[in-house]
Amino acid sequence: MKKRAGNIVKTSFIVSAIAAGLIAQAQLAAANPWNDMTTVGTAAITSSGNLQLTTDGNSETGAAWQNTPVSTLQSFTTTFSFSLISTANPQADGIAFVMQGQGKGAIGDAGGYIGADISKAVGSEIHTWYNNQVGFFQNGSPYTAKSAPFNMAVNNSLIGTETVSYNAASNLLTMTGNINGNSVSDSLGVNLDALFGSTMYVGFTGGTGGSYSDQEITDWSGINAAVPEPATMLLLGAGLIGLGGTVRRKRA
């Protein structure tokens, strides 16, 4: 009887440790979004803790990728805030949250390609200059997003936030956000596993051309995967305990 009680306590401890580890990992990623990033091109982490993709130069391209690949088989949500500021009118050329399978050194072209024209890439863009597009693009083609609900080209400052989510069961990407007080949203059906395999790289890209802009990601939640809730882990623990008891009874 004492041995069985000991096994139950041990199993419960293991399950609790797994749950705590998963939750701690998710919290760490959210609290330190730039600790696990590789910057490419003109991208850099500023002294104020922002991710700057382009500065005030012409024909710049910057990208930053999370070093740890993300599972394409699991649902996730991510939220980021951004600031695009320029004295040029219109400013150029835009930024994007990008998912790709090329690796953490990937970077596309400057100008209207906003560094996102990467093979098979999928993402959500804020496409300035006269392109004036907001939403999802695919196949590494930033020019395929839908038109913005307002004229971004006349604004020297674009401040906003976006939340991008992926439902792995229905293969659906959704985006909601706000830019200068204007609501934006979009959706795209895409099977990320079929496109990239079981894992992919996520991050941000930005580009300028003949015009310029200081393009920064001012905050990022990181990738928040669908981590089992504590109640779910307790049910799993109870199941494991019950299974252990069944096995012992059979052996007896």
Give the global pTM: 0.81
pLDDT score for 153: 86
Query: What are the pLDDT digits (tens) for 103-129?
Result: 999 999 999 999 999 999 999 999 999
Which position has the higher pLDDT, 112 or 3? 112
3-class SS of residue 215: strand
pLDDT tens, residue by residue, 228-243: 545 444 444 544 445 4
Task: Read off the pLDDT band of 227 (50, 70, 90).
Answer: low
Residue 17 has pLDDT above 50, yes or no: no
pLDDT tens, residue by residue, 86-100: 999 899 999 999 999
Provide the pLDDT for residue 56.
83
